[in-house]
Chain A
Amino acid sequence: MSFNYLTTIIFLPVAGAILIAFIPGLSQRAIKWLAALFTFVPLALSIYLFAIFDRSAGAIQFEEKLSWIPAINAHYHLGVDGLSLPLVILMTFLGFLVVLISWKIDLRPREYFAWLLLLETSILGVFCSLDLLLFFLFWEIEVIPMYFLISIWGTGRREYSAIKYVVYTLFGSAMMLAGILSLYFATGSLSMVEIAQGGLAPFTAVIPVVAIFFLLLTGFAVKLPVFPLHTWLPDAHTDAPTAVSVVLAGALLKMGGYGMIRLCVTIFPQVAQQYAPLLVAFAIVSVLYGAAVTLRQTDLKRLVAYSSISHMGYVLLGIFALGQVSLVGATLQMFSHGIITGLLFAMAGLVMHNAGERDLRKLGGLVRQMPIIAVVFSVAGLGALGLPLTSGFAAEFLVFVGSFTSTVVSGIQVYTILGVLGIVITAGYILWMLQRVFYGPALEQFNGAKDADILERVYMFAFVAVIMLVGIYPAILTDVIKTGILPIMGLLGA
């Protein structure tokens, strides 16, 4: 039997978490090094998988399948394809970097890193599971570490934000559970692959397929988030510790988009086509509403948080334009947003930490005290507004081209043009934010503020390198993503 790469990648972090939690008398240093080790190995392994991934075959690779619960026909079934592999890399990448970002945590570090590692396992599990029950299991586990991470290590109204996050997520997953149960009943199978291949046609009579589609979609829409289910996001982000914001924006939200493509589009192609106009409209509302609200924010982190709503609107647009290019674009946008917004949150966290201030109206002139942070923050900002040579440009360009030429939704050109307007607003709030934080007259209360130290420069460099790499040569990812999208296009009959 070949080496079980995916199992190793998924469960190494939680193994680290158990070690950290239960070995008595670990020093803070040892805890951090352990955490770094148990996140670096999965990163290395996932890059290796990316290198040996067979780009000519579209199928699911590195599969592992064991019987898990025979009574309900559930399997321990893992595998990655072109759709999930980039997201796995995204998570392992962020998972390692957030340990570096958290290096200065000194409040209850043992619990902090244990929860952080458990969180990584659960997200990786979601991206790799090909069994609905396993998928749901990982999906639910993620809530518990998030709850503790926000409510113990957060700031501001952290307990309120944490419980709000939990209630929203559980509501979404309750709907999703009902959907999964219906799907299981309709097909007698929990395997995503089998259900997608078998089709749902014979079962429409018992439970309407549309109902199942929307039950699942609700779960994913809460996570993505889609207007009007987004209100947990600004609160959770604003009050979460920096590293958790990075994971939340970088990888957690992607579970929503991934779920939509993997389940909603792949299993219900006809329903997806039927309701695409409605969902595209929601996407545009998310883009424009999110961007407009972002303009009005005065809190640095809240601003970055709201910008996520707008950017995830592009993902929704790309998905439900249901064209090959748009779906590739949506997946690339998920990856790119994960890196760019991860960096934005990391930089916002650094500014807050070093300047001791997060209110945009009180910040200013920081370019003099922290030139490196200013440059990197600007690169991330430019990526967010889709400047060429950054990954943001490649992703958003593909989404727009793809949806403009899509034939599924009539009049989508109008929606796309409205969506492009979102970019203009994005440029507005990003540049305005950079200006308010870094430029203008130097303020004397920030005179002692430090710039990034060595460790921080290391992870900044990693982020920027990935943003530029994908921006300059997007094919490195799109070649892989395409192998995942092509089978879906076959199902859509295009």
Chain B
Amino acid sequence: MNLELFLPELTLAAVAIIVILLDLVIPRKGWLVVVSIAGIVVAAGFTIAMWGGSSQAIFNNMLAVDNFALFFKLLFLAIAALVILASTDYVSKFARFQGEYHALVLLSALGMMLMAATTELISIYLALELTSISLYVLVGFLKDPKSTEASLKYLLLGAVASAVLLFGMALVFGFTGKTQLGEIAQAIQALSLTGVLASPGLILGMVLMVAGFGFKIAAVPFHMWVPDVYEGAPTPITAYLSVASKAAGFAIILRVFYSAFGLPQWLSLDWGMLFAVLAAIGMTLGNVIAIPQTNIKRMLGYSSIAQAGYLMVGLATVGFSPAADIVGRSSLLFFLASYALTNLGAFTAIIAISNKLNSDQISDYSGMGRRAPLLALALTLCLISLIGMPPAAGFMAKFYIFSGAVQHGLLWLVVIAVINSVISSYYYLRVVKVMWLGEPASEEKVPSSGALRLALSLSCLGVLLLGIIPGFIMKLAEVAAKMFVF
């Protein structure tokens, strides 16, 4: 039993508990942030120390410690840290439960780290539930009608999605007799084509799992919860949902579909096509519905549906490419990293602006370029990155993911995707236009705390770095995509 391989997770769990306990005794709540960040840094240190080592399985092959999992663990830790930093302004408004807020953020990060590492259906489900239940509570944290409604909606739809996922897992288990992903893969390869066709339940199970995971990543048509939940949730949690929860969903989809259903080739072509179609629908629907939105959080909600569509182009590539080809996976990892930084940057700027305005209406952002030039500049950079224009990270991410897709015969999907990028420029630039061209409603400056400015500058710096010299992260993504335990 190699407990040291489990140290990042243990650290995070311990810190979450410490934060709750500390909340009881200390009056200065700022320390909670410090302790949380310190815990994350320690956990990240453990994770980095493991990077590059040989892949290992722990807990009876239920968890994998490979570079793929480590890449995502680092990503989730970074996201959690940025979210906690960005929340400081927001959380200071709560009279109570600040300790719980930070602890829940840490616990859901723990769940996501487990999601990235699990290689077994039951632990996948458990990790997913740990993540989701923490997030249900966080979404309802404001306790106003909108936040409560969002939380209830998220809970109910999430429960349905979990049930669907569980049903799908049960079917897969029923037809293969295994829960371990590698063993499922062997069982499927032992079946002949006619054997699978004779037992359509296996395919049904696979499709139901797509539906269950599709809810997590906000893929159309499982996206109905997104706009309401994004609008109602506390803004830092919206940011958290839109990047971390989505990245975790993609991590688990990659893991399951690549290692359990990756072979034989006709099976992976099947689900590759499924994801390609979902991608095309998701991008188009998300972008078109985002155009008339007037609330910036709702708009970014639909934008995240569209971004999930671009990400699914990567999944489709994984399905279409031979198992040895890593471009689909590595481009997906790179896209997730750059999307996470971009969306966090955008939401952090929005947190600062909304705190001052008490409004999320796009029209209220009028003249922000003069009231808060640096915030507006940062938000502009992030929106440009979301469009996928250089010199921001979004451009490189799209270039990388699309180049993989073109290599595997998905030119049609790429053409749809690039046209979608043009459509999306319309609503992203509308925000830019309002900020820089509109007349300010007042001359008051927009204040922001040091922690928030730190989070914002870190994400913007990341967006620029990934956009101009992406080689290093691409290399990491390639290494992470290569080392993949069955």
Contacts and interface: CB of A to CB of B under 8 A. Distances in A.
Interface in B386-438: 387, 389-391, 395-396, 399-400, 402-403, 406-407, 409, 411, 414-415, 418-419, 421-422, 425-426, 429, 432-433, 436-437
Contacts of B478: 71
Contacts of A421: none
A140 interface: yes
Interface stretch (B25-33, B444-452, B467-475): B467-475
Contact of B422 (A72, A147, A167): A167
Nearest to B473: A71
Contact of A70 (B389, B436, B471): B471
A375 interface: no
A293 interface: no
A105 to B, nearest CB: 16
Interface stretch (A175-183, A259-267, A448-456): A175-183
Interface size class of B (residues with CB under 8 A): 35 or more
A304 B421 CA distance: 32
A136 B418 CA distance: 14
Given A143-B389, A178-B414, A184 B471 contact: no
B384 to A, nearest CB: 7
Interface in A139-178: 140-141, 143-144, 147-148, 151-152, 159, 163, 166-167, 170-171, 174-175, 177-178
B330 interface: yes
Contacts of A48: none
Contacts of A137: 390-391, 395
Interface of B: 330, 384, 387, 389-391, 395-396, 399-400, 402-403, 406-407, 409, 411, 414-415, 418-419, 421-422, 425-426, 429, 432-433, 436-437, 469-471, 474-475, 477-478
Contact of B475 (A70, A148, A206): A70
Given A69-B474, A151-B433, A140 B425 contact: no
B433 A175 contact: no
Given A69-B469, A72-B474, 7 more contacts: A71-B400, A136-B390, A147-B432, A163-B429, A163-B433, A174-B418, A178-B402
Query: Chain A contact residues: over half helix, strand or loop, or mixed?
Result: helix
Contacts of A178: 402, 406, 411, 414-415, 418
Interface residues of A, number: 34
Contacts of B403: 72, 181, 184-185
Contacts of A70: 471, 474-475
A140 B418 contact: no
B390 A177 contact: no
B449 to A, nearest CB: 22
A70 B474 CA distance: 9
A182 B391 contact: no
Contacts of A275: none
A19 B281 CA distance: 44
A402 B402 CA distance: 41
A18 B429 CA distance: 22
Given A140-B390, A144-B384, A69 B402 contact: no
Given A137-B390, A144-B389, A170 B425 contact: yes
A225 B437 CA distance: 28
Nearest to A176: B418
A159 B421 contact: no
Contacts of A147: 429, 432
Query: Chain B contact residues: over half helix, strand or loop, or mixed?
Result: helix
A141 B391 contact: yes
Contacts of B429: 147, 163, 166
A151 B432 CA distance: 11
Contacts of B330: 71
A361 B406 CA distance: 54
A309 interface: no
A33 interface: no
Contacts of B419: 171, 174
A256 B222 CA distance: 43
Contact of B436 (A148, A170, A177, A207): A148
A136 B475 CA distance: 22
Contact of A182 (B411, B432, B477): B411
A152 B422 CA distance: 22
Contacts of B422: 167, 170-171, 174
20 contacts: A69-B470, A70-B471, A71-B470, A71-B477, A71-B478, A72-B399, A72-B400, A72-B403, A133-B399, A141-B391, A147-B429, A147-B432, A152-B436, A152-B437, A163-B433, A166-B429, A170-B421, A178-B402, A181-B402, A206-B409
A68 interface: yes
B425 A166 contact: yes
B425 A69 contact: no
Given A69-B474, A174-B418, A182 B406 contact: yes
A185 B302 CA distance: 31
Contacts of A71: 330, 400, 470-471, 474-475, 477-478
A168 to B, nearest CB: 9
A170 B437 CA distance: 21
A207 B471 contact: no
A151 B437 contact: yes
Contacts of B406: 178, 181-182, 184-185, 207
B426 A159 contact: no
A138 B437 CA distance: 25
Contacts of A166: 425, 429
Contacts of B418: 174-175, 177-178
Contacts of A175: 418
B395 A167 contact: no
Contacts of A140: 389-390, 395
